[in-house]
A and B are shown apart, each in its own frame.
Chain A
């Protein structure tokens, strides 16, 4: 099967401001892609383009279709959860479930109800009466009951406390992910998602600064805890990121032979968080 999402030269301008500049990326079936960048980097704009919620220049296809035309057809196979507060506040929970059941061909009422049974959400409650965490739980329960090919999560845990954030991603992995559905998660909180991802997309100032499968991370990037006396030799190999750690130097290298590095200290696979910081700092310098 071909890519679920394919973007080439994706560009979005708001007047003089360029929110996205010539962005290329693709999402393979079954991938969990982290679209990671600081606030204002262009994450939401990218996702809105994918969902057919905004106009753009360049080429973009979602399951072979241009999202600017026929959004409603694409939405039979795509689900979307944004940060809290997009569920209609006037609705009651059972009205929401009835609605989705009657307009969405892939919704399973039983599944939604069994997911909700595990929460404190009552079906007679009005959405405006639920806490932020409960609204997100509800939205996720509805979305998880829809059998789609692509799930788009735009900062889904923004504004939630740590308990809800943790349970959100636990549910996502345990109850939802089936290796067939692709997921795009945008976030600026890297540490929350790094264990889930199969693919990394870092975005900054409207440009993709890293496009890397997770399993290629260890191949391309190496973290080195430099042995005393080897700092100079290590610096010659051109680290992309250097920081001090308990009196020692820690350096990150891109595309440098691990054999050459192993003689200079202790080597490790860098964390996504460190890689993110390294890439963002590089962008600024």
Chain B
């Protein structure tokens, strides 16, 4: 038996991640690019409308006033509304401008990140199921790649690689948004174009968003691990099992256990952190607030589920 040098684990892992991107290039690459292109097209269309049809186009603006006045709705001329917003922005204090732009950045990316959440969920749900269904597992298992490595590659691809691509698209979107807005602002008689760039803490906001994604990964790990486990476990319709499990547990919990602790835990750890107001927008504060016994228990449950997925994958066969 001639001994050859084994392939190094990082190189194999890199290859496995590339494999996932090749197989899922639709949802990992084309979907975010498509969403970004669509949002950019809408943005260009709106800006062109402002400049070439400013007096004729009307829009309905709904404002949720933070001063407690409530929700107001009015119909305004698009061009006038845009100018009004730019003027208001120019008049803001620097720190207010910065938070305003951060809010715009997050809002602009939200279609990307909402679809990312769905993409991750469905990707994980199929990750250890689809190849059993189409029998290609027999090929994958005939390669010298360990099952633990395979499972790890699925988690990393879903939780790190796919989000990275969405983040890059979102960064592209922000840059185009800022460029286009400042170009548009040049045509007004007050100085706002430079202010836009000066006030935008683009890089800082990106890091914060990426940081919040990582916090979400940690926070929602039991949810992701459950999907992965279901994917390895199900012999048919993993989606049904993935839903039925938590619903059944929640149901038992609702009727038998006072306080509905488990049900609340399931819901909390399935939804992205970005929507949890109490954590604030500061990454350090948010991470500090997140650390708790509950988090440790959650991570232990997630570790159990991931270990279970590896165990099942080891015994897995075509179905």
Interface residues of A (CB under 8 A from B): 1, 48, 51-55, 63, 71-73, 75-80, 82, 85-91, 95, 99-100, 102-106, 139, 147, 149
Q: Does any Cβ of A come within 8 Å of B142's Cβ?
A: yes
Contacts of B314 in A (CB 8 A): 71
Instruction: Report the bound CA distance from A165 to B34 in whole Å.
Output: 46
Q: Which residue of A is nearest B7, CB measured?
A: A105
Cα–Cα, bound, A79→B142 (Å): 6
Report how far A55 CA is from B316 CA in the complex, Å. 10
> Which of B88-96, B132-140, B233-241, B269-277 lies on the face that meets chain A?
B132-140
Q: Are B7 and A53 in contact (CB under 8 A)?
A: no
Q: Is A76 within 8 A of B6, CB to CB? A: yes
- A86 partner, pick from B6, B15, B135, beta carbons under 8 A: B135
Interface: B58 (CB within 8 A)? no
Q: How far is the CA of A91 from the CA of B144 in the complex (A)?
A: 19
Known: A72-B145, A72-B146, A88-B23. A102 touches B315 (CB 8 A): no
Question: Is B4's CB under 8 angstroms from A105's CB?
Answer: yes
In the complex, besides A72-B149, A103-B143, 8 extra interface pairs with C-beta distance below 8 angstroms are A51-B141, A63-B1, A72-B144, A88-B136, A88-B140, A90-B22, A102-B11, A102-B12
Question: Which residue of the partner chain A has the closest CB to B141?
Answer: A53
Q: Which residues of B contact A55 (CB under 8 A)?
A: 315
Contacting pair A89 B22 (CB below 8 A):
no
What is the total number of residues of chain B having a CB less than 8 Å from a CB of chain A? 32
Bound-state Cα–Cα, A100 to B12, Å? 10
Residues of A within 8 A of B12 (CB): 102-103
Asked whether A86 lies within 8 Å of B139 as measured between CB atoms, the reply is yes
Closest residue of chain B to A82 (Cβ to Cβ) is: B138
What is the minimal beta-carbon distance from A81 to any residue of chain B, in angstroms?
A: 8
User: Are B7 and A48 in contact (CB-based, < 8 A)?
Assistant: no
Q: A54-B315, A75-B144, A103-B15 are in contact. Are A87 and B7 (CB under 8 A)?
A: no
Query: Contacts of A53 on B, CB cut-off 8 Å?
Result: 138, 141, 317
The distance from the CB of B280 to the nearest CB of chain A, in whole angstroms, is 43
Distance (Å) between the CB of B263 and the closest chain A CB? 36
Q: Using A53-B317, A102-B11, A103-B7 as known contacts, say yes or no to A87 and B144 having CB atoms under 8 A apart.
A: no
CB distance from A59 to the nearest CB of B (A): 19
Q: Say if the beta carbon of B278 comes within 8 Å of chain A.
A: no
Expressed in whole angstroms, the Cα–Cα distance for A54 and B137 within the complex equals: 13
A243-B76 Cα distance, complex, nearest whole Å: 98
Q: Is the CB of B143 within 8 A of A100?
A: yes
- 8 smallest CB-CB distances across A and B, nearest first, come from A80-B142, A102-B15, A72-B146, A88-B136, A75-B144, A86-B138, A76-B144, A105-B4
Specify which chain B residues have a CB less than 8 angstroms from the CB of A86 in the assembled complex. 135-139
Confirm or deny: B253 has a beta carbon within 8 angstroms of a beta carbon on chain A.
no
B147 touches A104 (CB 8 A): no
B5 in contact (CB, < 8 A): yes
Contact A106 B139 (CB under 8 A): no
Residues of A within 8 A of B138 (CB): 53, 80, 82, 86
Q: Least Cβ distance of A19 to chain B in Å? A: 13
How far, in whole Å, are A102 and B131 apart by their CA atoms in the complex? Answer: 20
Minimum distance in angstroms from A95 CB to a CB of chain B: 6
Chain A residues, Cβ within 8 Å of B7: 102-105
Given A72-B146, A99-B15, A105-B144, are A88 and B139 also a contact pair (CB < 8 Å)? yes
Other-chain contact of A104, B137, B140, B143 (Cβ < 8 Å): B143
Alpha-carbon separation in the docked complex, A228 to B141 (Å): 58
B87: min CB distance to chain A, Å: 53
Chain A CB within 8 A of B85 CB: no
B139 and A75 within 8 A (CB): no
Kindly list chain A residues whose C-beta atoms are within 8 Å of the C-beta of B134.
88-89
